[in-house]
């Protein structure tokens, strides 16, 4: 649900807003239209009212996808490139850290957010093949 009513829906290549009756649909953003092998895989609402989402390469492990932010004004911003399978997007309770897993690389990465999502800076990984046992996925 949205604070302005209706719902935000994720489709394989787009994010769409609909009303509470699901009869009126408006595309908010199209993601990777030039990459037919990818689809939206995971998403999270950020602390500033935007949507952070990642894509998944359905045809191979080749890292051709990305992680994107759809700002409240509808602007699509590329946050990360060269992603094979975006998973586990989440924010710390204080909203200052973004967590992200690329299942193909098996690492949970962390990024520090500047206020109002002005910038994103990678910090040390939380988990990975040489850090902790397991296989991070979603």
Span 50-76, pLDDT tens digits: 999 999 999 998 999 999 999 998 899
What is the extent of the structural domain holding 112? 7-18+25-127
| 35 within a domain of the structure (yes/no) | yes
- Tell me the C-alpha distance between 12 and 32, whole Å: 10
The gap between the terminal CA atoms of the chain, to the nearest Å, is: 22
Q: Is residue 57 part of a domain?
A: yes
Number of domains composing the chain: 1
Q: Give 25-46 pLDDT, tens digit per residue.
A: 999 999 999 999 999 999 999 9
Q: What pTM was estimated for this model as a whole?
A: 0.88
The HSE-up count of residue 118 (CA atoms within 13 Å, CB side) is: 3
Give the confidence band of 4 by pLDDT, cuts at 50, 70, 90.
confident
Say if 132 falls within a structural domain. Answer: no
Residue 72: CATH number of its domain:
2.120.10.30
In a domain, 1, yes or no: no
In a domain, 134, yes or no: no
Q: Does some domain include residue 32?
A: yes
**88-132 tens-digit pLDDT:** 999 999 999 999 988 877 788 899 998 888 888 988 877 766 666
Rounded mean pLDDT of 74-91? 92
């Amino acid at each position: 649900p949205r604070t302005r009513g209706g719902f935000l829906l994720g489709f394989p290549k787009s994010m769409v807003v609909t009303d509470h009756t699901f009869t009126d649909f408006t595309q908010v953003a199209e993601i990777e239209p030039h990459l037919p092998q990818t689809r939206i895989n995971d998403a999270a609402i950020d602390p500033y009212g935007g949507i952070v989402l990642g894509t998944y390469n359905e045809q191979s492990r080749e890292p051709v996808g990305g992680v994107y932010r759809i700002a409240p004004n509808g602007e699509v911003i590329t946050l990360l490139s060269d992603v094979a399978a975006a998973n586990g997007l989440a924010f710390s309770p204080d909203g200052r850290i973004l967590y992200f897993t690329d299942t193909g690389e098996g690492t949970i990465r962390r990024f520090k957010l500047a206020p109002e999502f002005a910038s994103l800076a990678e910090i040390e990984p939380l988990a990975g093949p040489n850090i902790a046992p397991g296989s991070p996925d979603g």
